Chain A
Amino acid sequence: MLMISPRMASGMQEKQYTPSLLSFFIYNPKFGPREGEEEKKILFYHPIEIEKNEKIRNVGLCEAIVQFTRTFCPTKPAKSLHTQKNRQFFHEPEENYWMVMVVRNPMVEKPNKDGKPPTVEYQEEEIIDSVYGSVLQQCYSMYKLFNGTFSRAFEAGGVELLTQKLEKFFYRYLQTLHLQSCDLLDVFGGISFFPLDKMTYLKIQSFVNRVEESLSLVKYTAFLYNDQLIWSGLEQDDMRILYKYLTTSLFPRHTEPELAGRDSPLRPEVAGNLLHYGRFLTGPANLKDPEAKFRFPRIFVNTEDSCEELHLIVYKAMSAAVCFMINASVDLNREFCEKLDSLVGPQLTLLASDICEQYNINRRISGPEKEPQFKFIYFNHMNLAEKSTIHMRKMASVSLTSVHPDLMKILGDINCDFARVDEDEEIIVKAMTDYWVVGKKSDQRELYVILNQKNANLIEVNEEVKRLCATQFNNIFFLD
């Protein structure tokens, strides 16, 4: 019997809630081992409004869970706790320092008739552990990039300095987490490389060499074009987190003004230099103003062995951006910046337009860029190279994908299955919507292809993927 109630007429529908951050805390049990000292263990806790005893209880639960799992495997304790309403992720980045992220499970609220409170249905399966576990690990990596390790802060200034640094960093960083749009790419934490021909690549290499020779202070250099990496002198793990910072935080902050119209107040002050288009993204915003104060952000690299603290200079000309990293003990003054500006500006401007021209030539040769034919994600564990034709723009705020989120989760499932063994594998699935998803793992590389071919069978799907591999991947993947 169909009943039309006023509520139905007003369109009262199910409300879908996406996963969100419930709490985030960092603790070290060694700092408060005795009873009555529990509060001392807590180094950072968000949200700050939570009552002290509740914080202590939540930390206590985490400790108990880690201890419990140690009963069965002392070296590999808990990584996540699943409850009906939320999921907790555990990460021990340094000995005895624990980071915990609590995510509220996505849920659906179904309205009830007669004024009864709505029924809530929790959707635990929507959260994939490997994705959010990686997000938590990345929180640490990002903190470490700008602050060095926890131990270092503790050694330098005790608990007070450490808690200060944690508070300062995480208060802002947690606001940039967009848990509803995390997916497989977060598991990879890869770098998108800009495809180049040999000549242009050599030009860039020699540019870097020349600059490093002239500015002997420069320790490391990284060269990017259009949010993609071309060359880096840093270790992989350091570059990957720096890359994430540049592409999700620094570049977007500066791109918007650039794209603004000529008369817009957002448009950056033109440096007044007609010789080149170079400018500093970090450091002095306007070289012409002698009174303006500036400083470069400090980053920490090679934290495993030498732990170097460096100034991060990011200098951009058109679509090309170069990072110069100089020992933090050096004082970088205006004079140095002017020298760098006059040396790098013109060269980089020329180089940027060269690259642009070459890129356009290549595109003309390979044919007009139609809608990418294949939807795929590729990742190479060896050089961290990642490529996705599914994600439209990967920024901090929103990762737009051109496929249904459920398909992305299926990719996540396949990735988890791949992670279980080291051997080459292939997993092909047909989803309920008749989409086919093909996952291939071969020799440290992973490829995921989504095909929307409703009436295709297994053989046809196989042929399609073979074609893709032949054109784009030069037969790296050669399973049948």
Chain B
Amino acid sequence: MHRNRGSWGFQPEDTLIEDSGEFPSSLELNGQKTELLAGCAMDVPGLSHRNEDVTSESWRKHRKHVFVLSDAGKPIYSRYGNEEALSSTMGVMMALVSFVQAGGNTIQSIFSDEHTVVFLQQGPLVFVSVSTTHQSEQQLRGELLHVYHQIVSMLTQASIKRIFEHRKNYDLRRLLFGSERVLDSLLDVMDFDPSFMLSAVQCLPLPSSSRDILSNILQKSITPNLVFSFLIAQNRLVSIVQEKTVAEDTRLKPSDLHLLLNLIRASSAFQAGEIWMPICLPLFNHDCYFYAYVANLDPPECTICLVLLSTDKEAFYAMAECKRKIEQAFMSQNALECVANSQMYCVEDVGVNNLRHFLYKPSNVMEHHRQLPQFTCPEMAVPYKSQEERIRLLDLYRNMHNRIHSTSRPLKLIYHSADGETLLAWVTGKFEMYACFTSLVTKKSAISELTKLLRWIKKEEDRLFICHLPKYSTTSQSGRVSTDRGRSDRANASDAGFMSLL
């Protein structure tokens, strides 16, 4: 079943301005809107928290609230509860932001014994996080930035800017209609997935020969304006192939990849068909859309997913044809068997007694890690199998990450023995790692197990990481593809080089 394009409610940028001129007055708009929203929220299963009572004790006690509002104080999103019911609370938040701003200052956060409130303003949007997790201000703000980027991935930054320039108290919910679950899903994933903390991607462990076969097939199945091909299995990256000149222009950041995967996950949810949807990659180019062709290759299990990104809005059939070719090649070489059989590894595989879990991220010394930052970690073992324990462990990792990467007093190593577990965080020129041991481990054992672990990772590194990022060459549209400011000089140079290819 196709995603209903009409529900996006948008058109390419030029026509949007005309559209907004036809919007009815705000009063009526709100009247219609509330009805519409209420009807939608109750119909969709799993969204009952949208109607949670915001005056209740249980609402107050949530682990982390996230609110999105416009700088005119209009509510846009609340993780728990209906944002309309929270409009006065959001009004207060906006008042706090404005008041401090009026004094030539910027509000950043509020701390109390139980809560941390963090503010972020991006253009006309204001984001507020109210958290009981004791994460640092920087980390919470980083999460809010991801929420902003997810919204940009659906609307583009240029559109948002233009909409609010044109109409200061525009109700952005009109455009985000139905997308609450994308933000809900992002916030959930950020809690229990360390990828966000590490700004890295975790791939599916595969023998490199098998992975190369898959990558080669992807590399050969091209069509004009195709810029990225991803193969994803069990929610982990299997292979990624990029267009050559685009890759020279700028790297694909892990954050963009996470947002892309989240959008697909929250939108398609185990459907057996194909999807064609616009998506903006905010860190890559925050002002324009790519068009994503997404298909599951193994219905009905739907664990293996192919994603093709194109710059051409009309290329659906070309993409479908690409997919057909890829599928055929996969079948004839039985290439997907290794993927279906692949599993995450356990910490027992390393052969140590006290180590319970670890995160290992190589530094960007090696080229392939520079191109795509990656990390690896085993399946969560027994004490951390439950969602609650998993989040608790990640909270501990996050605290150490915060201390070790402090801007004013960074550290090289942290060793923390506590009642529940003993934790270690370690940053060197070659890697960054976090490890969790039983609380009874001695320092001597911890060090020797760590040494064993590092040796094991070195031995398995071909399998644990994507070591080779192949490229293809397709004639893409001319002109600047990315807005990655940091590489503007290089981009200009490659623009010139790019033009010469045509």
Q: A residues engaging B (CB < 8 A)?
A: 57, 61, 64-65, 67-69, 71-73, 76-86, 123-126, 129, 406, 409-410, 413, 417, 420-421, 423-432, 434, 457-459, 462, 479-480
- Bound CA–CA A453/B117 (angstroms): 40
- Bound CA–CA A69/B115 (angstroms): 8
Given contacts A72-B60, A124-B108, 15 further A-B contacts (CB under 8 A): A73-B115, A81-B107, A82-B109, A83-B108, A417-B399, A424-B419, A426-B416, A426-B417, A430-B413, A432-B409, A432-B410, A458-B447, A459-B443, A459-B444, A479-B417
- Contact between A430 and B417, CB atoms less than 8 A apart: no
Choose from A79, A83, A423 the contact partner of B107 (Cβ within 8 Å).
A83
The answer to whether residues A64 and B443 also contact, given A69-B112, A83-B107 and a CB cut-off of 8 A, is no
Q: Name the distance in Å between A59's Cβ and chain B's nearest Cβ.
A: 12
Q: Name the distance in Å between B431's Cβ and chain A's nearest Cβ.
A: 16
Choose from A427, A459, A480 the contact partner of B416 (Cβ within 8 Å).
A427
Could you list 18 A-B pairs, sorted by A, with CB under 8 Å? A65-B110, A68-B92, A68-B93, A73-B115, A81-B107, A82-B108, A82-B109, A83-B106, A83-B108, A123-B408, A126-B408, A425-B416, A426-B417, A429-B403, A430-B411, A432-B412, A434-B412, A458-B413
Does B105 sit at the interface, judged by CB under 8 A? yes
Q: List residues of chain A with CB within 8 A of the CB of B48.
A: none
A-contacting residues, B81-102, CB 8 Å = 89, 92-93, 95-96, 99-100
- Contact between B110 and A64, CB atoms less than 8 A apart: no
Choose from A71, A82, A431 the contact partner of B411 (Cβ within 8 Å).
A431
The answer to whether residues A125 and B408 also contact, given A72-B115, A424-B419, A462-B443 and a CB cut-off of 8 A, is yes
- Contact between A420 and B411, CB atoms less than 8 A apart: no
Choose from B93, B110, B112, B406 the contact partner of A125 (Cβ within 8 Å).
B406
Q: Name the distance in Å between B422's Cβ and chain A's nearest Cβ.
A: 9
A-contacting residues, B110-142, CB 8 Å = 110-115, 117, 130, 134, 137
Choose from B96, B399, B442, B447 the contact partner of A64 (Cβ within 8 Å).
B96
Interface of B is mostly: mixed
Q: Name the distance in Å between B69's Cβ and chain A's nearest Cβ.
A: 14
The answer to whether residues A83 and B105 also contact, given A69-B112, A423-B419, A428-B415 and a CB cut-off of 8 A, is yes
Q: List residues of chain A with CB within 8 A of the CB of B108.
A: 82-84, 124
Q: Name the distance in Å between B75's Cβ and chain A's nearest Cβ.
A: 15
- Contact between A77 and B112, CB atoms less than 8 A apart: yes
Residue of B nearest to A71 (CB): B89
For B, the interface residue count at a CB cutoff of 8 angstroms equals: 45
Residue of B nearest to A76 (CB): B113
- Contact between A84 and B113, CB atoms less than 8 A apart: no
A-contacting residues, B322-360, CB 8 Å = none
Interface flags for B467-493 (1: CB within 8 Å of A; 0: not) read 000000000000000000000000000
Does B418 sit at the interface, judged by CB under 8 A? yes
Going nearest first, the 9 A-B pairs with the smallest beta carbon separation are A430-B413, A125-B408, A76-B113, A423-B419, A84-B106, A428-B415, A82-B108, A426-B417, A430-B412
Residue of B nearest to A426 (CB): B417
Q: Which of A64, A79, A82, A421 has the most CB of B within 10 A?
A: A82
- Contact between A61 and B109, CB atoms less than 8 A apart: no
Does B56 sit at the interface, judged by CB under 8 A? no
A-contacting residues, B42-64, CB 8 Å = 60
The answer to whether residues A64 and B416 also contact, given A71-B60, A73-B115 and a CB cut-off of 8 A, is no
- Contact between B443 and A458, CB atoms less than 8 A apart: yes
The answer to whether residues A78 and B112 also contact, given A64-B95, A72-B60, A480-B442 and a CB cut-off of 8 A, is yes
- Contact between A406 and B408, CB atoms less than 8 A apart: yes
Q: List residues of chain B with CB within 8 A of the CB of A129.
A: 111
- Contact between B105 and A85, CB atoms less than 8 A apart: yes
Residue of A nearest to B425 (CB): A429
- Contact between A410 and B444, CB atoms less than 8 A apart: no
Does B407 sit at the interface, judged by CB under 8 A? yes
Q: Name the distance in Å between A248's Cβ and chain B's nearest Cβ.
A: 27
Q: Name the distance in Å between A447's Cβ and chain B's nearest Cβ.
A: 14
Q: List residues of chain A with CB within 8 A of the CB of B403.
A: 413, 417, 429
- Contact between A428 and B112, CB atoms less than 8 A apart: no
A-contacting residues, B384-425, CB 8 Å = 399, 403, 406-419
Interface flags for B438-458 (1: CB within 8 Å of A; 0: not) read 000011100100000000000
- Bound CA–CA A352/B117 (angstroms): 55
- Contact between A78 and B96, CB atoms less than 8 A apart: no
Residue of B nearest to A436 (CB): B413
- Contact between A76 and B442, CB atoms less than 8 A apart: no
Q: List residues of chain B with CB within 8 A of the CB of A69.
A: 110, 112, 115, 117
- Contact between B112 and A79, CB atoms less than 8 A apart: yes
- Bound CA–CA A429/B413 (angstroms): 5
Residue of A nearest to B410 (CB): A432
- Bound CA–CA A126/B95 (angstroms): 28
A-contacting residues, B132-167, CB 8 Å = 134, 137
Q: List residues of chain B with CB within 8 A of the CB of A423.
A: 418-419
Residue of B nearest to A413 (CB): B403
The answer to whether residues A82 and B137 also contact, given A76-B114, A424-B419, A425-B418 and a CB cut-off of 8 A, is yes
- Bound CA–CA A459/B105 (angstroms): 47
Q: List residues of chain A with CB within 8 A of the CB of B416.
A: 417, 425-428
Q: List residues of chain A with CB within 8 A of the CB of B442.
A: 480
- Contact between B112 and A73, CB atoms less than 8 A apart: yes
The answer to whether residues A65 and B111 also contact, given A426-B416, A480-B442 and a CB cut-off of 8 A, is no
Q: List residues of chain A with CB within 8 A of the CB of B115.
A: 69, 72-73, 76
Residue of B nearest to A463 (CB): B443
Q: Name the distance in Å between B254's Cβ and chain A's nearest Cβ.
A: 25
- Contact between B110 and A81, CB atoms less than 8 A apart: yes
- Bound CA–CA A409/B403 (angstroms): 12
Residue of A nearest to B107 (CB): A83
- Contact between B409 and A410, CB atoms less than 8 A apart: yes
Q: Name the distance in Å between B402's Cβ and chain A's nearest Cβ.
A: 10
Q: Name the distance in Å between A30's Cβ and chain B's nearest Cβ.
A: 21
- Bound CA–CA A79/B93 (angstroms): 17
Q: Name the distance in Å between A409's Cβ and chain B's nearest Cβ.
A: 6
Q: Name the distance in Å between B315's Cβ and chain A's nearest Cβ.
A: 46
- Bound CA–CA A83/B119 (angstroms): 10
- Bound CA–CA A410/B109 (angstroms): 21
The answer to whether residues A84 and B105 also contact, given A73-B112, A73-B115, A79-B112 and a CB cut-off of 8 A, is yes
Q: List residues of chain A with CB within 8 A of the CB of B96.
A: 61, 64-65, 68
Choose from B100, B407, B411 the contact partner of A83 (Cβ within 8 Å).
B100
- Bound CA–CA A413/B117 (angstroms): 20
Q: List residues of chain A with CB within 8 A of the CB of B117.
A: 68-69
Residue of B nearest to A439 (CB): B416
- Bound CA–CA A432/B408 (angstroms): 11
Q: List residues of chain B with CB within 8 A of the CB of A71.
A: 60, 89
- Bound CA–CA A64/B107 (angstroms): 13
- Bound CA–CA A309/B31 (angstroms): 65
Q: Name the distance in Å between A51's Cβ and chain B's nearest Cβ.
A: 13
Residue of A nearest to B136 (CB): A125
Q: Name the distance in Å between B87's Cβ and chain A's nearest Cβ.
A: 13
The answer to whether residues A428 and B414 also contact, given A73-B60, A76-B112 and a CB cut-off of 8 A, is yes
Q: Which of B60, B111, B444 has the most CB of A within 10 A?
A: B111
- Contact between B411 and A429, CB atoms less than 8 A apart: yes
Q: List residues of chain B with CB within 8 A of the CB of A434.
A: 412
- Bound CA–CA A81/B442 (angstroms): 41
Q: List residues of chain A with CB within 8 A of the CB of B413.
A: 428-430, 458
Q: Which of B100, B130, B409 has the most CB of A within 10 A?
A: B409
- Bound CA–CA A61/B99 (angstroms): 8
- Bound CA–CA A57/B100 (angstroms): 11
Q: Name the distance in Å between B421's Cβ and chain A's nearest Cβ.
A: 11
- Contact between B105 and A79, CB atoms less than 8 A apart: no
Q: List residues of chain B with CB within 8 A of the CB of A78.
A: 110-112
Q: Name the distance in Å between B107's Cβ and chain A's nearest Cβ.
A: 5
Q: List residues of chain B with CB within 8 A of the CB of A76.
A: 112-115
- Bound CA–CA A425/B114 (angstroms): 21
Interface flags for B296-312 (1: CB within 8 Å of A; 0: not) read 00000000000000000
- Bound CA–CA A69/B116 (angstroms): 9
Q: List residues of chain A with CB within 8 A of the CB of B407.
A: 125
